[in-house]
Amino acid sequence: MKTLDQTLRGLRGPAIFLAQFMSDEAPFDSLANIARWAASQGYKAIQVPTLGTRYIDLARAAESQAYCDELKATCAAAGVEISELSTHLQGQLVAVHPAFDALFDDFAPAHLRGQPQARTEWAIEQLKLAARASQRLGLKAHATFSGALLWPYMYPWPQRPSGLVEQGFAELARRWRPILDCFDAAGVDLCYEIHPGEDLHDGASFERFLEAVDHHPRAAILYDPSHLLLQQMDYLGFIDRYHARIRMFHVKDAEFRPDARSGVYGGYQGWVDRPGRFRSLGDGQIDFKVIFSKLTQYGFDGWAVLEWECCLKDSQQGAAEGAAFIQRHMINKTAKAFDDFAGVTADEASNRRLLGLPG
């Protein structure tokens, strides 16, 4: 089991999350094609969604090392590697409040739609398959959503009854604890994207969950500053506070420009008209220079993964610009102090003399 102080390799990139690019049309229609496309854009790794079988057969990957070796070989031939797998949509189905049943039903196989309990059981099994598939692929982190039982009660009106939040997190922990144990057995960190619409949507909610799962060593964070900016959180201080649990990184930009009509909640407006909008890299307000510096400072061991989501710019333009943007922000961590040239010989005796202490 990996400990939090394990020797780290550092920040790597650029990588790209494929979910927003999936299509029936080439070059986005198969793993081989999209891997070659990603490499041609300057990416070194791809983060692979697992719903459906377009890019990976999750059940097969969980059971067959030969199949996983084929997947890795396909990517290597294209010039990339797999950074992580993603079960965002399956993770969403681990916990669904009844108010959202109809909206999330399409994430499940057709034969499970309208059957919330069976859908949840399927989702949990999908996560367990992802743990074993990640292990066979030699990956050390996995991306997902927590799902949500409490989101309809996010705003404290009408007044929440005493114990509701505690009971919601207890149930969320009950569902996720066996999954976390499965990831622990596979030697893979399970990284929850901190995201509005999920019960784990900020630091306080993540802390509640962490306590409910007894600070499980595999319960980790996928850090995406865009979701924190749109909640008007201190996304830089978030790294200072939670860096030991940050094991994945989505490089995604955003802007927040409130006006006299609407603010954080957006007034039910579409993305273009909301005060808070996701933007392509470099077009928003996120201070990525500081983010990359802080992650390097704390020894973050993982990939810098572009997630393209923008209501204005075309996805392929965003992808083409994103690799270069990430590359410009990469930091090769220095192995020595800048003033080592002026260093002096040190030993305990001389140090004691410098402090005026007897030898």
Q: What is the CATH number of the domain that holds 166?
A: 3.20.20.150
pLDDT at 2: 40
Identify whether 119 is part of a domain. yes
Whether 2 is covered by a domain: the verdict is: no
pLDDT band at residue 218 using 50, 70 and 90 as cut-offs = very high
Number of other residues whose CB lies within 10 A of the CB of residue 331 = 13
- Say if 26 falls within a structural domain: yes
pTM > 0.85: yes
Whether pLDDT at 8 is above 90: no
Q: In this structure, is residue 30 part of a structural domain?
A: yes
Residues 160-201: tens digit of each pLDDT: 999 999 999 999 999 999 999 999 999 999 999 999 999 999
- 8 Å CB contact between 189 and 160: no
- Is residue 21 situated within a structural domain? yes
Rounded to whole angstroms, how far apart are CA atoms 233 and 213? 25
Give me the DSSP letters along 149-171: SSGGG-S--SPPPTTHHHHHHHH
**For residue 53, what is the DSSP state?**
S
Residue 359 lies in a domain: no
* Backbone conformation region of residue 132, classed left if phi is above 0, alpha if psi is from -120 to 50, else beta: alpha
Mean local confidence (pLDDT), 253-257: 98
Whether the Cβ atoms of residue 57 and residue 67 lie closer than 8 Å to each other: yes
List, for residues 98-108, the tens digit of each pLDDT value. Answer: 999 999 999 99
The pLDDT value recorded for residue 211 is 98
Amino acid type, 76: A
Average model confidence (pLDDT) for the chain?
95
Residue 321, H or E segment:
helix 315-329
What is the bridge-based pairing of β-strands 11-17 and 45-49? parallel
Average pLDDT over residues 312-325: 97
Residue 15: name the closest of 143, 194, 197, 119 by CA.
Answer: 143
Measured between alpha carbons, how far apart are the two ends of the chain, in Å? Answer: 45
pLDDT for the residue numbered 3: 37
Strands 276-279 and 253-256: antiparallel
- 98-112, 149-163, 206-220, 323-337: least confident range: 323-337
DSSP category for residue 271: G
The rounded distance, in Å, linking the Cα atoms of 226 and 243 is 17
Q: Where do we find the tokens 């005796």?
A: 349
Residue with tokens 């990430």: 326
Burial class (CB in 10 A: 0-12, 13-18, 19+), 87: buried
Among the listed ranges 158-172, 207-221, 228-242, 335-349, which one has the minimum average pLDDT value?
335-349
d(CA 33, CA 269): 36
Q: Domain count of the chain?
A: 1
Is pLDDT larger for residue 16 or for residue 341?
16
**Count of alpha carbons within 13 angstroms of residue 57, beta-carbon side:** 9
pLDDT at 212 exceeding the cut of 90: yes
Its domain, for residue 215, covers: 11-354
Q: What letter would DSSP give residue 260?
A: S
Three-state DSSP state, 178 = helix
Instruction: Let me know if residue 1 belongs to a domain.
Output: no
In a domain, 258, yes or no: yes
